[in-house]
Amino acid sequence: MNKTMSKPISDRPLTIALVTREYPPETGYGGIGTYCDTMARALVSRGYQVIVLSDADGKPESYVQRDGVHIYRVLPRFDVSRLPVVWRLNKLWTGYRLAVALKLRELVQKHVIDLIETSDIHGEPLLYSLLPGHRPILVRLQSSLTLSLTYNRAPMNPRTRITLHAERWMLRHAAYISSPSRALWQITNERVTPIAPERCTVIPHPTNTERFQPIDSIRANRSAINPLVLYAGRIEWWKGVDILVQAIPLVLAQVPNARFLLVGADRSSPNTGGSLREELRASLPETCRARVEFRDGVLNEALPMLYNAADIVVVPSRWEGFGLVCAEALACGCATLASRVGGLAEIIEDEKSGLLFESENVEDLAHKLIRLLCDPALRESLGQHARQRIATYCAVDPVVDQMTTLYQNVLRQSDQHLQKQSTR
């Protein structure tokens, strides 16, 4: 696995296209959207031209220039969902990849795009990649549909099978691949499609340490008597929120004054198909329910305040390719407890910048939560080292340095490949 590549052949600002169905604020602030938004803003600040091609999400197609970023939103082509008989084809064909291909072909000429970056999820530029003379495509690993289905215990259907093939195609034919963690590269290599180490570089996701930082005025109002444990993220299976809920009675038996706040959008239960939040709430003993609050997801702008209000942040995921919530909490100087999986185990230095517990081990999670709740000095020490860890590991500037070097080198290799072909 290459940690770095050779120095770029040119330092000229490039024109980069980010192809992503999720780009905030219109389509939310998930991991992919947050990564693309952070990268786009940082690249523009360095003089790069950035084009974003994203989903119109059922609204009219549009173009807007915001914060220096050119944002185009498209709708699927040849949607047959309203036609008699053939509407069934829409279960297999949404037409979104065709819309991406047509728009990319136009934008490459209009903006003279140097390089296209996209996530592995959905294989969005697949049809564009089949066009002759297409621009080099860099695929950024984000936990593919294969992993999403596995860790959410979700069923396979015809459309998801087509999507899986599209993802594999893009990974096999990309000019290069980057991954936010070594663990994500390894599991993608094992479960999705082989990725040779020389075709992939590990560069963590950028974390905005100016936005996510300790806020003294909020931290000063924490209750010394009723410490707060925070979970922030979707209420879904692969995020492991059920593991935290199982640990809560064990923790309250030892620290009865602890409070738990679980914030995030509800998802369906893999057991019943109903609300997972209501299933988890109902699973709590009556004696614990007054100490546990479930709350809908908050606006992205409120996240720094939410983290700073908590004494402990818990990230109990069954899998994380990187761990955005973990990185943001650490940047805010929070004492953070995360499962020892994927990118979480690469972000946190156990017993120094945070604590790790064995994945899906309810007793280990409860034991370490009790330890943190009973030791304010340990929480303070972990929080101080947490902030330092993020500043050196995945703050925006060093990550963008690595990504722009990667862009330059991918283009250099692409140019060399084209030159070899032209001389044959």
Residues 148 and 259 in one domain: no
Least reliable range by pLDDT among 35-49, 107-121, 152-166, 185-199: 152-166
Average pLDDT over residues 45-58: 95
User: What separation in angstroms does the CA of 180 have from each of 68, 167, 177, 183, 243?
Assistant: 25, 17, 10, 9, 25
pLDDT-based confidence at residue 88 (cuts at 50, 70, 90): very low
**Using CA atoms, how far apart are residues 94 and 90, in angstroms rounded to an integer?**
6
Specify if 2 maps to a domain. Answer: no
Specify if 349 maps to a domain. Answer: yes
Give the distance, in angstroms, between the CA of residue 264 and the centroid of all CA atoms in the same chain. 15
**Using CA atoms, how far apart are residues 319 and 344, in angstroms rounded to an integer?**
9
**Using CA atoms, how far apart are residues 348 and 369, in angstroms rounded to an integer?**
16
User: What separation in angstroms does the CA of 387 have from each of 70, 105, 307, 335, 391?
Assistant: 33, 43, 13, 10, 6
Residue 378 belongs to what H/E stretch?
helix 376-393
pLDDT of residue 170 exceeding 50: yes
What is the reported pTM? 0.91
The pLDDT value given to residue 154:
78
Give the distance, in angstroms, between the CA of residue 45 and the centroid of all CA atoms in the same chain. 22
The pLDDT value given to residue 3:
45
Specify if 7 maps to a domain. Answer: no
Residues 317 and 346 in one domain: yes
The whole-chain average pLDDT of the chain stands at: 91
Closest CA to 208 of 400, 16, 18: 400
The pLDDT value given to residue 277:
96
Comparing 220 with 84, the larger pLDDT belongs to: 220
Residues 180 and 149 in one domain: yes
pLDDT of residue 156 exceeding 80: no
The pLDDT value given to residue 9:
46
Specify if 184 maps to a domain. Answer: yes
Residues 168 and 20 in one domain: yes
Specify if 166 maps to a domain. Answer: yes
Q: Which tokens is 165 given?
A: 């093939």
Residues 267 and 383 in one domain: yes
Residues 144 and 95 in one domain: yes
pLDDT-based confidence at residue 10 (cuts at 50, 70, 90): low
Residues 153 and 248 in one domain: no
pLDDT digits (tens, 9 = 90+) for 365-420: 999 999 999 999 999 999 999 999 999 999 999 999 999 999 999 999 987 766 66
Assign residue 409 the CATH number of its domain: 3.40.50.2000
For residue 201, give the 3-state DSSP assignment: strand
Specify if 9 maps to a domain. Answer: no
pLDDT-based confidence at residue 86 (cuts at 50, 70, 90): very low
Task: Show the 3-state SS of 26-81.
Answer: CCCCCHHHHHHHHHHHHHHHCCCEEEEEEECCCCCCEEEEECCEEEEEECCCCCCC
Residues 79 and 123 in one domain: yes
The beta-strand segments (E) located in 69-184 are 69-74, 115-119, 137-140, 176-179
Specify if 338 maps to a domain. Answer: yes
Q: Could you tell me how many helices (H) and strands (E) the chain has, helices first?
A: 15, 14
Residues 305 and 367 in one domain: yes
CB of 399 closer than 8 Å to CB of 206: yes
Number of folded domains that form the chain: 2
The pLDDT value given to residue 417:
67
pLDDT-based confidence at residue 79 (cuts at 50, 70, 90): low
pLDDT of residue 89 exceeding 50: no
pLDDT of residue 87 exceeding 90: no
Residues 255 and 232 in one domain: yes
For residue 349, give the 3-state DSSP assignment: coil
pLDDT-based confidence at residue 83 (cuts at 50, 70, 90): low
Specify if 10 maps to a domain. Answer: no
Residues 93 and 44 in one domain: yes
CB of 323 closer than 8 Å to CB of 343: yes
pLDDT digits (tens, 9 = 90+) for 316-358: 999 999 999 999 999 999 999 999 999 999 999 999 999 999 9
Task: Show the 3-state SS of 66-81.
Answer: ECCEEEEEECCCCCCC
CB of 371 closer than 8 Å to CB of 335: no
**Using CA atoms, how far apart are residues 36 and 86, in angstroms rounded to an integer?**
36
State the greatest distance between any 2 C-alpha atoms of the chain, in Å, as a whole number: 77
Domain that holds residue 105: 15-206+396-422
pLDDT digits (tens, 9 = 90+) for 92-120: 456 889 999 999 999 999 999 999 999 99
- Tell me whether residue 194 is exposed, middle or buried, using C-beta atoms within 10 angstroms of its C-beta: 0 to 12, 13 to 18, 19 or more: exposed
CB of 55 closer than 8 Å to CB of 27: yes
Residues 329 and 417 in one domain: no
